[in-house]
């Protein structure tokens, strides 16, 4: 969910370092080098110190000093603000127009705007998750990777989640009709989806763990062969994608397919993805392309 437009504007302006004379916003512009002073004092700052929220720097001057200079208040906000204000002489003697430069986070101020640096400042990178390379690898199929990403965050609207929200919906898995539907059951602990995934792992002589999150971590080191490692990631994501689609089709239509039909479609999808990748392996030794590995292990 995005913040409201006014808040987004303030967030954007907080990346500006203003080199000011007197007309910059006292509370919202970064004219002291400490960031917007409203962030220093908090929302109650203007009311506590008696300076309106729309005040400019000039409004805070009384003669040749700050209006707070003579205050003896022990209020923490007032004391904090007084310690944050620069020498007033630099404001009083300034005779040129305001000059502003962009300063995103720890980068040096610059008069050149950088969209990339500003984006990173407004949207800091989070802590990397341990399974990211199993989802966002280079040669992924985008729509398969997206669904796999949603699954990794446990955000699919599975029946157990719907019921936890108070919805009156059946709990049983529509694929196996043997247990309550959860993320772990769908991928791949139910009999139906387990047949699909194990068809490919057995072909490669691999034994993945039964739990979904453990499988995502296992994919990172599933094989020492680069070809098999890539193919098994593509197969995993295609399996997740088509299992979820089959689940939805069974709920919303009368179309039912069995595991061999799902397996065949996965083979078609992954084979189509491997074709251009295999052609681009111009430096690969004869007989070691992705398609050679594919037909040797995963498709008769």
The per-residue pLDDT for range 137-175, each reduced to its tens digit, is 999 999 999 999 999 999 999 999 999 999 999 999 999
Question: pLDDT tier at 9 (50, 70, 90 boundaries)?
Answer: low
> How many Å from the N-terminal Cα to the C-terminal Cα in the chain?
47
- CB within 8 A of 268, min separation 6: which ones? none
- Render the chain in DSSP notation, one character per residue: -PPPHHHHHHHHHTTEEEE-SS-SBTTTSB-SSSS-HHHHH-TTHHHHHT--TT-BGGGGEETTEETTTT-----HHHHHHHHH---THHHHT--S--EEEE--TTSPPBSS--HHHHHHHHS---PPPTTHHHHS-TT--HHHHHHHHHHHTT-S--HHHHHHTT-----B-TTTSSSB--HHIIIIISHHHHHHHHHHHHHTT----SSHHHHHHHGGGS-SSHHHHHHHHHHHHHHHHHHHHHHHHHHHSS----HHHHHHHHHHHHHHHHHHHHHT-TTSPTT-SHHHHHHHHT--
Mean pLDDT to the nearest integer, 259-268? 98
* The predicted structure's pLDDT at residue 197: 98
Question: pLDDT tier at 285 (50, 70, 90 boundaries)?
Answer: low
Per the CB < 8 A criterion, the answer to whether 208 and 215 are in contact is: yes
Phi, psi of 96 (to 5 degrees): -105, 170
CA 31/CA 25 separation, integer angstroms = 8
In Å, how far are 186, 201, 243, 278 from 189, measured between CA atoms? Answer: 6, 14, 12, 32
CA 258/CA 243 separation, integer angstroms = 11
CA 273/CA 283 separation, integer angstroms = 19
pLDDT, tens digit (0-9, with 9 covering 90-100), for 78-91: 888 888 888 887 77
CA 23/CA 129 separation, integer angstroms = 45
* The predicted structure's pLDDT at residue 62: 83
* The predicted structure's pLDDT at residue 283: 64
The pLDDT mean for the chain works out to 86
For residues 62 and 155, which has the higher predicted lDDT (pLDDT)?
155
Domains in the chain: boundaries: 5-122, 132-297
Range with the lowest mean pLDDT among 57-61, 233-237, 295-299?
A: 57-61
- CB within 8 A of 83, min separation 6: which ones? none
* The predicted structure's pLDDT at residue 236: 98
pLDDT, tens digit (0-9, with 9 covering 90-100), for 99-119: 666 766 666 666 677 788 778
* The predicted structure's pLDDT at residue 264: 97
* The predicted structure's pLDDT at residue 125: 82
Per the CB < 8 A criterion, the answer to whether 27 and 55 are in contact is: yes
CA 297/CA 144 separation, integer angstroms = 22
Question: pLDDT tier at 1 (50, 70, 90 boundaries)?
Answer: very low
For residues 109 and 71, which has the higher predicted lDDT (pLDDT)?
71
For residues 125 and 51, which has the higher predicted lDDT (pLDDT)?
51
Residue 180 has pLDDT above 70, yes or no: yes
Q: Is 0.75 topped by the overall pTM?
A: no
Percent of the chain predicted with pLDDT > 70: 84
Residues 199, 200, 206: CA angle, nearest 5 degrees: 105
């Amino acid at each position: 969910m995005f913040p409201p437009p006014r808040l987004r504007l303030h967030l954007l302006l907080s990346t500006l370092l203003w080199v000011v004379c007197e007309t910059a916003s006292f509370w919202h512009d970064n004219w002291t080098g400490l960031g917007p002073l409203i962030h220093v004092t908090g929302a109650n700052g203007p009311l506590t110190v008696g300076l309106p929220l729309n005040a400019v720097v000039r409004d805070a001057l009384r003669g040749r000093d700050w209006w707070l200079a003579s205050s003896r208040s022990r209020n923490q906000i007032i004391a904090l603000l007084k310690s944050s204000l620069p020498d007033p002489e630099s404001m009083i003697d300034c005779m040129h127009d305001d000059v502003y430069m962009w300063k995103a986070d720890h980068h040096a101020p610059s008069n050149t705007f950088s969209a990339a640096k500003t984006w990173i400042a407004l949207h800091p990178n989070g802590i990397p998750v341990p399974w990211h390379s199993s989802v966002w690898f280079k040669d992924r199929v985008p729509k398969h990777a997206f669904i796999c990403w949603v699954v990794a965050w446990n955000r699919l609207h599975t029946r157990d989640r719907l019921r936890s929200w108070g919805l009156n919906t059946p709990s049983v898995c529509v694929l196996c009709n043997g247990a309550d539907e959860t993320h772990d059951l769908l991928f791949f602990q139910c009999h139906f989806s387990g047949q699909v995934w194990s068809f490919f792992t057995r072909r490669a002589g691999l034994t993945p763990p039964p739990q979904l999150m453990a499988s995502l971590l296992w994919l990172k080191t599933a094989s020492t062969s680069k070809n098999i490692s890539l193919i098994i990631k593509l197969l995993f994501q295609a399996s997740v994608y088509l299992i979820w689609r089959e689940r939805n089709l069974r709920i919303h239509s009368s179309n039912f397919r069995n595991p061999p039909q799902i397996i065949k479609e996965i083979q078609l999808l992954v084979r189509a993805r491997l074709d251009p990748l295999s052609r681009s392996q111009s430096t690969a030794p004869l007989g070691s392309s992705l398609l050679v590995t594919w037909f040797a292990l995963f498709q008769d």
